[in-house]
Chain A
Amino acid sequence: MSNDHSVSNPRKDPEKIVSIDSEYLTGKRFAYQEDISEIDGIDLQESTPGGDINWLEDITLLEEEGTPAVFDRYSNSFLKIYYDIPAGREDEVARKVLIKHLQSGNSYGTVLKERYAKFAQPELGPWVKGSRIVGDNYVPPVLEGWEAPEGH
């Protein structure tokens, strides 16, 4: 996405960390984390299968390192939200930020698909209709200098 911001990681591998957030994984912070108007066009009902908001019922506003955050199960990381969330709209905003994140292809789990998906699948899963197929041409990595044992 064009209006993202690179962030410097205060923690470097292989330093042990217990909290992994989206910014640490991608090295970026996205506009919808800083500006609530970025999620204005998100329709939760439209974005999910079935007659209600389906899997988003389990998504609520949480907190990570003292900052409001929504959990992205597709990258096992928190997506922090840096603006004031209007009272009574906490879960709605969390859900819309997450859907925007997934539809934009910015979830780290989506980023990894291009390289690591072993089976053909839509890059943007069920969030964007007609997204391109990835994983249909997977080539296993080869360790330099390694040879398969005889008979394999």
Chain B
Amino acid sequence: MDAVVGESQITYDARGLVEVDDTVLGVAVVKDGKATIDASELTTRKINLELRSLVYEQGIEDVTILNPGGKHSLGVGILTRCKMTFEGSLGYFACGVIDGPEVTINGRVGWSACENMMSGVVVINGNAGSLTGAAIRGGDLVIKGRVGARTGIDQKGGTIIITGAAGSNTGFMMQRGRQLILGDVGPHLGDSMYDGIIYVGGKVKSLGADCVPGEMTEEDNEFVARKMGLYDLGTPPELQKFVCGKKLYNYDNLEPSERKLVL
């Protein structure tokens, strides 16, 4: 295999943003309709090109990526229904801007995992960095571990589930959707949130501006039980619910065009 190894051997565009060569190497091993990519000798772009070729052009619906080696931006922009499994840790912006895939990551992830996710399911069997699920619009993002700061910042929909603890400013400027945090949460939970619901099973260090306690309803209990059952998370603990106090901002006062930005 003539795959490029090492940063010094990659040719980038003038801005240093992207590897110029967009040749699909075709190194995946396909067997019984499932594909396996050994990413150890591949660059980020080659891995993503291989992935897209498999799920878009070859109709493969189940891809396993071995040895991702903590590379950044893997599995981004996949806009179709498929299954992807990463056997190892990923770097920044893992699986961002996806719409439809069901992803399992058997490792840790860096900053901004699943940012701008539209739909699908991502299960991370490990810890995640800050900004996890930033601006997520839909789908389920499950982190079986701890997360850093500002989880679900600008969240516009979907569900983020965290089995461990979450850092500061969790749910910052959240606009819709739900977060279920089974562990403790750092300071400024739900700061400046517009809408949405945050459930917390552990202790909350402090609430952010306009984040107030809410009352658990039958609908909330059904939702939590269903999601925890779906991801084998056991029996729901006693939860606290937090919502927007609507003192800072209210949709009724927004221009219709502004309102659409958060729908």
Against A, the Cβ 8 Å flags (1 = close, 0 = not) of B19-58 are 0000000000000000000000000000000001000110
Q: List the B residue with the shortest CB-CB distance to A70.
A: B263
Bound CA–CA A101/B116 (angstroms):
22
Q: List the B residue with the shortest CB-CB distance to A133.
A: B56
Bound CA–CA A124/B97 (angstroms):
16
Which residues on A sit within 8 Å (CB–CB) of B80? 121-122, 125-126
What is the predominant secondary structure among interface residues of chain B facing chain A?
mixed
Which residues on A sit within 8 Å (CB–CB) of B157? 55, 58
Interface centre among A20, A73, A133 (most CB of B within 10 A): A73
A51 touches B263 (CB 8 A): no
Min distance, Cβ A66 to any Cβ of chain B, angstroms: 13
Against A, the Cβ 8 Å flags (1 = close, 0 = not) of B243-258 are 0000000000001110
Bound CA–CA A71/B87 (angstroms):
37
Does B148 sit at the interface, judged by CB under 8 A? no
Asked, given contacts A58-B138, A125-B100, A126-B79, whether A120 binds B119 with beta carbons under 8 Å apart, the answer is: no
Does A12 sit at the interface, judged by CB under 8 A? no
Does B140 sit at the interface, judged by CB under 8 A? yes
A51 interface neighbour in B176, B230, B256, B257, Cβ under 8 Å? B230
Asked, given contacts A58-B158, A125-B99, whether A49 binds B52 with beta carbons under 8 Å apart, the answer is: no
Number of interface residues of A (CB under 8 A): 26
Q: List the B residue with the shortest CB-CB distance to A125.
A: B79
Residues on A lying within 8 angstroms of B by beta carbon are 18-20, 48-52, 54-55, 57-58, 62, 71, 73, 76-77, 119-122, 125-126, 129-130, 133
Top 6 A-B residue pairs of the complex, sorted by shortest distance between their CB atoms: A126-B100, A55-B138, A55-B119, A58-B157, A50-B121, A71-B263
Of the A-B pairs whose beta carbons lie under 8 Å apart in the complex, a sample of 24, sorted by A's number, is A18-B256, A18-B257, A20-B257, A49-B119, A50-B139, A51-B230, A52-B226, A54-B120, A54-B139, A54-B140, A55-B118, A55-B119, A55-B137, A58-B158, A58-B177, A73-B137, A77-B260, A120-B52, A122-B79, A125-B79, A125-B99, A126-B81, A129-B81, A133-B56
